[in-house]
Amino acid sequence: MSSNTVYFITGANRATGLGFGLVKAFASRPNTIVFATARNPSTATELTDLAKQNPNIHVLKLAVDSESDTKRVAAEVQRLTGGIDVVIANAGILNYTGSGLETPIAAVEEHFRINTLSPLILFQALYPLLKARQTRKFVVVSTQAASIKDIMPLAVTAYGASKAALNFITRRLHSEHLEEGFVIIPLNPGWVATDMGNAGAKSVGMEKAPLTVEQSVEGQVKVIDGAGKEESGRFWSFDGEELAW
């Protein structure tokens, strides 16, 4: 079993994305192993190049909404390290913007499949690997747009609803596994100038989202590092602020 700190990060395929930024941040630390997933590594050139330069990064092919694929990847991680300290379920989509009246049901189903069900599939497959270590952190990348109390004026019915449902699952997992020493949180990365963030910004007349990837990643890493028993089961933002469900 590896004595290194082991991170598992989904959705790391885009060089301009948060997953890629998180991989770089954690891989730069000494005594770490980072598993970075991409649906199609052959097209994730920057990620595979980064892994060539950093032998502690392992790129894994993963369709996050596939139970069989996730189990296969879990078996590979088990063989290589025997456990995982921190899982960051970052992969997600925002493929449609529009009001509830206009949103196609197929778009809602697609967002729920990727944004809501995939992290649960991931937790179920990686649970034994997390339990094999003492850190036992499971972080899902959520969004402030998922807040029901402080609903945002954005036409993201499918995306917001899928992330709100993800928040419930995260809270449920927290209550079920707190006594086992798990730390389970949803984390809002902020409104970041990624492909997804900029698309949302343009939908409301902005040129781009206000946060850089570097600013978001720096804040997320600080929250993830500092999250313990007291922080588990609460909705956090990258800047350390607790958000309303």
Stretch 7-36: mean pLDDT:
97
Where exactly are the structural domains of the chain? 5-237
Provide DSSP, 174-232. HHHHGGGT-EEEEEE--SBSSHHHHHHHHHTT-SS-SB-HHHHHHHHHHHHHH--TTTT
- Catalytic residue set: 159, 163
Give the Cα separation of 124 and 134 in Å (integer): 18
pLDDT of res. 203:
66
* CA dihedral sign, ordered 44, 49, 10, 155: negative
Q: Which of 102, 182, 89, 105 is nearest to 143 (CA)?
A: 89
pLDDT of res. 68:
98
Task: Specify the pTM.
Answer: 0.95
Q: What is the pLDDT of residues 157-197, one digit of tens each?
A: 999 999 999 999 999 999 999 999 999 999 999 988 787 77
pLDDT of res. 2:
73
Give the Cα separation of 181 and 192 in Å (integer): 31
Query: Which class does domain 5-237 fall in?
Result: alpha beta
Q: Within 13 Å, how many C-alpha atoms sit on residue 114's CB side?
A: 19
pLDDT of res. 13:
95
Above 80 in pLDDT, residue 48?
A: yes
pLDDT of res. 192:
87
**Which residue carries 């369709």 as its tokens?**
63
> What percentage of the chain has pLDDT greater than the value 70?
97
Task: Give kind and range of the element (H or E) at residue 9.
Answer: strand 5-9
Higher-pLDDT residue of 216 and 202 is 216
pLDDT of res. 191:
85
Stretch 80-100: mean pLDDT:
96
Q: Strands, E, within 104-199: which ranges? A: 137-141, 183-188
